[in-house]
A and B are shown apart, each in its own frame.
Chain A
Amino acid sequence: MSLHTIPSTGMSPVLPMSRRRMLQLGSLGFGSLALKGLLSESTARAGVAQTPHARPRAKSVILMMQNGGPSQMDLFERKPALEKFDGKQHSIKVEMFQPGSEQNKLMNTPFRFRHYGASGIELSEVIPGIGSVIDDMTVVRSMHTGHNNHTEALVMFMTGKIFQDRPALGAWISYGLGTENSSLPGYVVLRDPSGYNTSGTLTWTNGWLPAQHRGTEFSSTGTPVLNLKSSIPVSANEQRNNLDFLGKLNRIHQRRLPGETELEARIQNYELAARMQLAAADVLDISKETAATGKLYGLDNKTTEPYGRRCLMARKLVEAGVRFVQIHPKPFQPWDSHSGTRQNLGSICANCDLPTAGLITDLKQRGLLDETIVIWSGEFGRLPVSQNGTGRDHNRNAFSLLVAGGGFKAGYAHGASDEVGYAAAVDKVSVADFHATVLQQLGMDHESLVYEHAGREETLTDPSLTGARVIPGLLA
C-alpha cells in the first residue's frame, strides 16, 4: 500500500506564477486523493458494499483481449467498395507500418458477409459463433487509436496511453471498486500457458496504483495458481499449526509497530492464501460443470478447448465475485495477419469464435450478462490495402470491437469507418471514450476516479488531454 501523500506542512515555494506553473496548479486544483480502492478492500472484507459515484449497471468485466490487430473489414464491417475496387490503387496513400503495402492496392476480403440474428447485423462468415449472439452485443465500427505498433497500441488500449508505466484498466477498476470475494483477488488474468502475449505483464500492470490491484495470473491448465499447493507435501493440520504459529509471531511483531498498515495486509494475505487454496481450487474446478456447459464452450473439441477453458473459468470467476477477468487467446499476437488473411483468420477464429459465443450465452442464461460487461477487442485494426498480396498491415485509424452486457446496447452496430475501412468516420469512438463509458457503467465517473502520482492527480482517461467522454449512443 504505497500511498503517496504530501505532508500538509507548507512546502510550496513563493514564486511568481508562470504560465506553466498555473497550468500545473490548475491540473491539481480539484478533488482529493482517491482512497476508494483502499477503503473498499477492507469494507469488502467486512462485507459492506461500496458506494460508487453513480448507480452502477454492471459489477464486473470480462475483457477478451484479442491482440495482434483483428481485421475489421474481414470480420465486422462489410466494405462493398473493397469488392468493387479490389486490386485498384487507393486514392489515399495509406500509412504503412511495415513494408509490403507500397503498391497501395485495395484488397477485398476473402470472406463472405452474412446478416445474423434478428438484428440482421452483417458480420463475416468466419465468425458464425459471434453472429449467433450478436443480438446480445454491440459492435463498434468506429474505434481509433494512437499508434500502429503493437506494444504501444496494446499498452494504450489497456492503460489509456502509449507509455509503459500506467495502470491497466483492470487495475483502475479494482482500485475503484475493490473486490467482492475475500477469497480471491479482484483482478485475474488467464493467458495461454504456452507464453505471454506481446507486452507481457504490462497489460495487467498496476502501474503506480497500489500493488494489490495488479492482475493476478491464474493458469487455465495444470495448477490454476502458482504455489497454491505446497511443493513439499504438508498435511492440512501441519499447515494449520504453521499458520497459527506464524500468525501469532506476526501479531507480536505488529504490536511493536501498530501504525504500519502494510503489516496488517501481510497477515491478511497469509489467511487469504489459505482461503485461496480452497476457494480457487473450488472456483476453478471445471470438472463439475455439466457436459452441456462444456459443449457450449467447446471443451469437447481440441481446437476450441484451450480458449474455451479460459472463457468458462472467466464466467466462474465473475460468478464468484472477481471484479475483472482478462483472457488472452494465444501467445504473442494471434491476430497479426500480415499475409494469408484467409488461413490466419480462419485458424484463430476456429479457436476462439465458438467459446466466445458460449461465454455470452452462458452468462445470459445464468442472468449474469446484465451485470457483466464483456469486451472483445484488439489494439488496432488493419489496412484496406493488400500487404504481400494476401495480408494487411497495421492500422491505427480504424478498428472494430465488440461489447456486451452491463447496460450496453444489444443487437446494435455503432458508427462506421470510411468507404474502404481506412479511418473511423461516423460516430467516432476513441479508446479513452470507450474507457470512460465502461467506467460509467460500473458506477464510476472517469473524471473523478483519480490517483495522485508524482504530484499529479492521474485518471485513466486524462480527459483534458484526450477529450474523453462517455458515449451515450452505446448504452441501452
Chain B
Amino acid sequence: MMIRWLLLLLVIMSSSPSSVPAADGLMFEDGVFGLLKTYCWKCHGGEGRQAGLDLRSLPLIKRGGKHGPAVVAGSLEKSLLVQKLVSGQMPPGKELKPTAAHIETIKAWVAGGARARYVARGLDEAEEPALEESDRQWWAFRPPVRADLPAVAASSRVATPVDTFVLSRLEAAGLDLAPEATLTALVRRVHLDVLGLPPDPADVDRFLADRRPGAWTRLVDRVLADPRYGERWGRYWLDVAGYVDIIGADNDAGGIKLAPGVWRYRDYVVRAYNADKPFDEFLVEQVAGDELADWRNAERLTPDQLEQLVATGFLRHARDSTSSPELNTADIRHQVLYETLQTVSTSLLGLTVHCAQCHSHKFDPISQADYYRLAAIFTPSLDVQNWIQADQRHLHTVSPSHKIRIDKHNGRIDARVGELKKRAAAVRANVSTRLRAVKLASLPEPIRADTGTAVGVPKDKRNPVQAYLALKLGPLLAVSPDEVNRNLSAAQRMTVTTAESEIARLNSTRQSYETIRVAWETGPPAPTYLYRRGDYTTPGPEVKPGVPLILDPVNRPTLIPTAGPGQKPASSGRRLAFARWLTRTDHPVTARVIVNRMWMRYFGTGLVSTPANFGLSGTEPTHPKLLDWLARELVDNGWSLKRVHRQVLLSSTYRQSTARPAAEWKRARAIDPANRLLWHRPLKRLESEAVRDSVLAVSGQIDLLQGGAAVPIKANSDSSVVIDSSKLARPGDVNRRSLYLTCRRNYHPTELSVFDQPTVANNCTRRDSSAVVLQSLVMLNGSFAMKRARRFASRVRSETPGGDQATRIDRAFRLALSRSPTEEEQGLAIELLRRQAVELSGAKNANGSTGRPLEHLCHMLLNTSEFLYVP
C-alpha cells in the first residue's frame, strides 16, 4: 500500500510540466506510435473507436473524440491522453499497464510540442494523380454506343446483328464463318451451354422432327424457359460472387464451418436468373438490398424485403476468419473489407483496383484516393472499428421486431412448458419416493438406514462403506420410470397425461425463423481514411465515399448523397447510391462486363479476354462494336439477360461448326491463330459441375430437386472428398446437381476438384480448363463414374426391352452423346462387347449386350473426349 502511494506521489510530482525535459527531437512515429498501438488501439484505433477517439495519427489525436482533443501540444494538463494515462484510468483493467518510462515518453512528446512527421494535409499528387486525356479516351471509360450494323458480304449468314459484327471482322481478315454444325450437335450444344446437361434422346428427336421454319428459335426459347437454366447460369454468377457455404478461410480439410442460411442467397440467384429479373434490379438488390426498404422497423418482412436482404449475401463471401478470437484483429478485419472490394471491382466494374490499396495504380488511372473512396462506400457495413464477428454477423428471415415477438411468444411457451413439466415431474417424484421407501423397508433393519444414507451421498463423497453399500444395494432400491407409471393413481395419471398433452399442444404452436447472411450498416458511418502505404496503422487524409473518377463521365468525385435534410436514416444510403450509379443506362462498364462474361461462357474467351480487367493493363476487345451493341441491347431492353442470350444463341456465329476442312483450318490458323475472330466454334470442355451433372443425367439417376440447404460433403483421410451419405436429408440428395453440394473454398468433391472447380480464395471471374491425368483417372477408375456407368447400362437395358445388340449400342450412344454411332463406331462397339464377353466367360449373354460388357461400353462412352466437350 505504501509503495502504491509513493508511486502515485511520484506520478503526481512528475506531472508538473516544469519537471519534464522537453524532448525536441522526439517524433510521434519514433517512440509514441508504438506505445499507443500497444496500450490504446484495442479501443481507440485499430480495433475500436470508443468515444469517437482514434489514436492512429497525430491529426486524429488532435481531432480527438467526443471529450475533445486527446492532445494539446505543449500542455500536459490539457492533454486528456496524458491525464488518463497518468491517473491510471486508461488503459482500463489490470492486464496491460504502461510502464512509468513509457508514460514519461508520452509526456515528453506532448511537452515537446507533440511533433510528428505526418501532419494534417489533403490528398497529395501521388495519392491522387491528375487524369490524363489519354486515360479518358480509353475505350472502357467511355459509355457504350450502339453502332450501325456493318455491311457484310456473306449476308446469307446473318441471322442476328451479332453476325454482322463477327462477319465484318472475319471478312476484313479474309476469313469466313465455318459451316453450320449438324442438328444433333446443335441440340446437344445448346442444352449443355444453357442448361449444363445433355439433352435426353426425346429432346433430340423432338428437335429433329420439327421441320417447320423457326425450329431453332423454338428450341432456344424452350431451353431458356427451362428452370435448369437458372442453375447453370446462376452458378456462373456464384463464381463471380465468390460464393461459399462456409465461414472463414477453410484451411482445415476435416473442419467444415458452415455458414447457416447462406444457401438462400444461392437460391435467390437461381430464381433471379430463371425469372429473368432485370439485371439492374438484380445488381441493386445485391449491393444495397438492405437499403431499399425500412426493414429495421417493419412489423413483418414482406417477401420482397426478405428477398432484398438475402440478396446482399453477395457482399458476404470474403474470407472472414474473425470468428476465431485470435484472428479477430484489425488486419484480418481490413482484409475482409479489401477482399469485398476486390469482389465488387472485379465482378461489377471489370477493374483490378487492389493494387491501389498501397499506391496509385501503375498502369490504370485508378488512384489510391479512388480506392479508399470506394472503400468508404462499404466501410459503414464493414466497420473495422465496430466489428461483428463472422459467425455473429447475420439477420433472420423475420424482421427484428417480429423476431422479438416470436422470441417472446416462444419464451411464454417455454415458461408454460416448464411449469407443466415440473408439475408432472413432481407427481412422478412423489410416487418414486414412495416406491423407494417400500424397497428400503424390505432391507434387513441393521443396514437399512445406512444404505438409505449411502445412496443419498454423492458418488465422489461416499466413504468406503457407503460406496460398498451403494454399489451392492443401490440397484435394489432403483425405481424405473415404468414402475412409476404403473403405480400412478387415477388422479395422478390424469394430472400427468393432461400436462403431457398440453406440452405437445404448446410445442406445436412454437414459431420459428432462420438465419440469413446479410450486409447491413451496423452503426453510423465513421470517417474513412486513405491508408498511407496501404497500412491501416498509418491513416492519411480523410476521403469521402465516391466512385473511381475515371468512371464517372462528369467527374464528380463524391456523388454519394448523405442523408436528406432533416432525415436520420438507419443506413447511410452509400451502397444504394453506388448501385444506382452502377446501373445507370450510360454506365461505361457495367453492361459491358456482364455481356462480356456471357460471351466468354459461350465462346470460351470473352470479347475482352480479361473479364475482370477492362483497364489499360487488360486486353482490348476483339469486337468493340459487338461488345457495345450487346451492352446496349441489354440496357435498352430493360436489362433482360435472356434477350441477350437469345441474340447470341440465334446467331450463325453460335451455330457454326467446331470443325473445318483441314485446308481451311490451316489457312485461317495462319491468319488468326487463336481464333479470336471466330472462324470456327471454339471447342470447350465442360466445367466441373457440368461433367458430374451430365454423368448423373445419362445414368438416369439425377435428382432435379431445386434449392435448399447444401448437401453435406466430407474429406476422407486418403484426401478424397465425397458426399457425406451419413448426413443426407434425403437419399436422393446424393444425385443432386453439383450446384447444391456444399461449396467450400479449398476442398471440393474429388469429381469436381480434378475438373478445375476453382479454389475460392476470393472470387472467380474465369474458370481454368486443365487436362491433367487425374481427370482420366477419376473417370476411368473412380467409384462415382463406375457406379453411374453401371446404372447407365441398366437404363440402356430397360429402355430397349427385347432389343438386340445394335439397338442397345445405339441407345447407349444416344444417351451419352446425343447421336447414333457411325457404322465404324458401331463395329468398334460390337467388337468391344465381344471381347469383354470372351474375357468374362461367365457372362450369360455371349454377345455381351447385357451385364458387365455393356457396363464397360457405357463406362467408356462417359470417358470419351466427345462426352467431355461441347460439340
Binding site for B on A (CB under 8 A): 1-7, 9, 11-13, 15-21, 23-24, 93, 98, 102, 149, 151, 163-165, 185, 191, 193-202, 205-206, 208, 210-212, 214, 216-217, 219, 221-223, 225-232, 235, 237-238, 241-242, 244-246, 248-250, 252-254, 256-260, 262-263, 265-267, 269-270, 272-273, 276, 331-332, 454-456
Among B80-88, B385-393, B729-737, B835-843, the stretch that binds chain A is: B835-843
Residues of B within 8 A of A205 (CB): 759
CA distance A377 to B782 in the complex (A): 35
Q: Is the CB of A256 within 8 A of B659?
A: yes
Q: Is the CB of A15 within 8 A of B137?
A: yes
Q: Does B825 contact A (CB under 8 A)?
A: yes
Q: Which of B251, B745, B852 contacts A332 (CB 8 A)?
A: B251
Q: Does B572 contact A (CB under 8 A)?
A: no
Q: Which of A222, A229, A253 contacts B865 (CB 8 A)?
A: A253
- Given A211-B768, A226-B718, A238-B856, A272 and B677 touching (CB < 8 A)? no
Q: Does B747 contact A (CB under 8 A)?
A: yes
Beyond contacts A5-B673, A273-B780: 10 other A-B pairs, Cβ-Cβ < 8 A, are: A7-B672, A20-B361, A196-B747, A199-B251, A200-B250, A226-B718, A245-B857, A259-B665, A269-B772, A331-B253
CB distance from B810 to the nearest CB of A (A): 15
CB distance from A327 to the nearest CB of B (A): 14
Q: Which of B363, B619, B828 contacts A245 (CB 8 A)?
A: B828
Residues of A within 8 A of B835 (CB): 241
Residues of B within 8 A of A249 (CB): 825, 828, 860-861, 864, 866
The total of chain B residues at the interface (CB under 8 A) is 103
Q: Is the CB of B773 within 8 A of A454?
A: no
CA distance A102 to B839 in the complex (A): 74
Q: Is the CB of A226 within 8 A of B750?
A: yes
CA distance A285 to B396 in the complex (A): 55
Q: Does B683 contact A (CB under 8 A)?
A: yes
Q: Is the CB of B96 within 8 A of A102?
A: yes
Residues of B within 8 A of A164 (CB): 761-762
CA distance A29 to B563 in the complex (A): 50
CB distance from B135 to the nearest CB of A (A): 6
Interface residues of B in 835-870 (CB under 8 A from A): 835-836, 839-840, 852, 856-857, 859-861, 863-866, 868-869
Q: Chain B: which residue is nearest A165 at the CB level?
A: B761
Q: Chain B: which residue is nearest A465 at the CB level?
A: B362
Q: Is the CB of B778 within 8 A of A227?
A: yes
Q: Chain A: which residue is nearest B361 at the CB level?
A: A20
Q: Is the CB of B619 within 8 A of A7?
A: no
Q: Is the CB of A194 within 8 A of B362?
A: no
Q: Is the CB of B782 within 8 A of A227?
A: yes
- Given A13-B620, A24-B363, A252 and B863 touching (CB < 8 A)? no
CA distance A102 to B99 in the complex (A): 11
Q: Which of A200, A216, A263 contacts B251 (CB 8 A)?
A: A200
Residues of B within 8 A of A221 (CB): 717-718
Residues of A within 8 A of B132 (CB): 18-20
Q: Does B405 contact A (CB under 8 A)?
A: no
Among B486-494, B516-524, B609-617, the stretch that binds chain A is: B609-617
Q: Is the CB of B828 within 8 A of A248?
A: yes
Residues of A within 8 A of B362 (CB): 20, 23
For B616-628 the 0/1 string (1 means CB < 8 A from A) is 1111101000000
CB distance from A15 to the nearest CB of B (A): 5
Q: Chain A: which residue is nearest B861 at the CB level?
A: A249
Q: Is the CB of A211 within 8 A of B771?
A: yes
Q: Is the CB of A185 within 8 A of B773?
A: yes
Residues of A within 8 A of B783 (CB): 231-232
CA distance A19 to B861 in the complex (A): 56
CB distance from B138 to the nearest CB of A (A): 8
Residues of B within 8 A of A455 (CB): 610, 613, 617-619
What are 11 A-B contacts defined by CB distance under 8 Å?
A6-B674, A18-B135, A93-B38, A196-B252, A211-B771, A223-B718, A227-B781, A231-B782, A237-B839, A241-B835, A455-B619
Binding site for A on B (CB under 8 A): 34-35, 38, 96, 132-135, 137-139, 173, 249-254, 326, 329, 331-332, 354, 361-365, 609-610, 613, 616-620, 622, 658-659, 662, 665, 669, 671-674, 676-677, 683, 685, 717-720, 745-747, 750, 756, 759, 761-762, 768-778, 780-783, 786-787, 790, 822, 824-825, 828-829, 831-832, 835-836, 839-840, 852, 856-857, 859-861, 863-866, 868-869
Q: Is the CB of A102 within 8 A of B38?
A: yes
CB distance from B714 to the nearest CB of A (A): 13
CA distance A227 to B685 in the complex (A): 21
Q: Which of B331, B683, B718 contacts A219 (CB 8 A)?
A: B718
- Given A205-B759, A228-B781, A229-B781, A6 and B865 touching (CB < 8 A)? no
Q: Chain A: which residue is nearest B746 at the CB level?
A: A200
Residues of A within 8 A of B864 (CB): 246, 249-250, 253
Residues of A within 8 A of B780 (CB): 227, 230, 270, 273
Q: Which of B618, B685, B759 contacts A262 (CB 8 A)?
A: B685
Q: Is the CB of B781 within 8 A of A230?
A: yes
CB distance from A91 to the nearest CB of B (A): 11
CB distance from A363 to the nearest CB of B (A): 26
CB distance from B119 to the nearest CB of A (A): 22
CB distance from B455 to the nearest CB of A (A): 45
Q: Is the CB of A211 within 8 A of B825?
A: no
Q: Is the CB of B786 within 8 A of A193?
A: no
Q: Chain B: which residue is nearest A93 at the CB level?
A: B34
Q: Is the CB of A212 within 8 A of B619?
A: no
Q: Chain A: which residue is nearest B683 at the CB level?
A: A260
CA distance A214 to B754 in the complex (A): 11
Q: Which of A9, A212, A227, A253 contacts B772 (CB 8 A)?
A: A212
CA distance A199 to B331 in the complex (A): 18
In the complex, the 8 A-B pairs of residues with the closest C-beta atoms, listed nearest first: A211-B770, A93-B34, A231-B783, A200-B746, A164-B761, A227-B777, A245-B832, A273-B776
Q: Is the CB of A272 within 8 A of B773?
A: yes
CB distance from B666 to the nearest CB of A (A): 8
Q: Which of B249, B717, B863 contacts A151 (CB 8 A)?
A: B249
Q: Which of B139, B616, B857, B865 contacts A254 (CB 8 A)?
A: B865
CA distance A21 to B326 in the complex (A): 44
Interface centre among B665, B835, B852, B861 (most CB of A within 10 A): B835
- Given A217-B719, A332-B251, A18 and B134 touching (CB < 8 A)? yes
Q: Is the CB of A200 within 8 A of B776?
A: no
Q: Which of A3, A262, A273 contacts B683 (CB 8 A)?
A: A262
Residues of A within 8 A of B253 (CB): 195-196, 200, 331
Q: Is the CB of B840 within 8 A of A238?
A: yes
Q: Is the CB of B619 within 8 A of A454?
A: yes
Q: Chain A: which residue is nearest B321 at the CB level?
A: A151
Interface centre among B253, B331, B362, B772 (most CB of A within 10 A): B772
CA distance A387 to B680 in the complex (A): 63
Q: Chain B: which residue is nearest A6 at the CB level?
A: B619
CA distance A235 to B683 in the complex (A): 34
CB distance from A396 to the nearest CB of B (A): 13
CA distance A165 to B768 in the complex (A): 12
- Given A16-B134, A229-B781, A257-B683, A9 and B770 touching (CB < 8 A)? no
CB distance from A69 to the nearest CB of B (A): 15
Residues of B within 8 A of A5 (CB): 673-674
Q: Chain A: which residue is nearest B137 at the CB level?
A: A15
CA distance A226 to B786 in the complex (A): 14
Q: Is the CB of B718 within 8 A of A222?
A: yes
Residues of A within 8 A of B717 (CB): 193-194, 221-222
CB distance from A424 to the nearest CB of B (A): 20
Residues of A within 8 A of B750 (CB): 226-227
Q: Chain B: which residue is nearest A262 at the CB level?
A: B771
Q: Chain A: which residue is nearest B355 at the CB level?
A: A163
Residues of B within 8 A of A217 (CB): 719
Q: Which of A9, A232, A241 contacts B677 (CB 8 A)?
A: A9
Residues of B within 8 A of A265 (CB): 771
CB distance from A292 to the nearest CB of B (A): 30
Residues of B within 8 A of A98 (CB): 326, 329
Residues of B within 8 A of A211 (CB): 756, 768-772
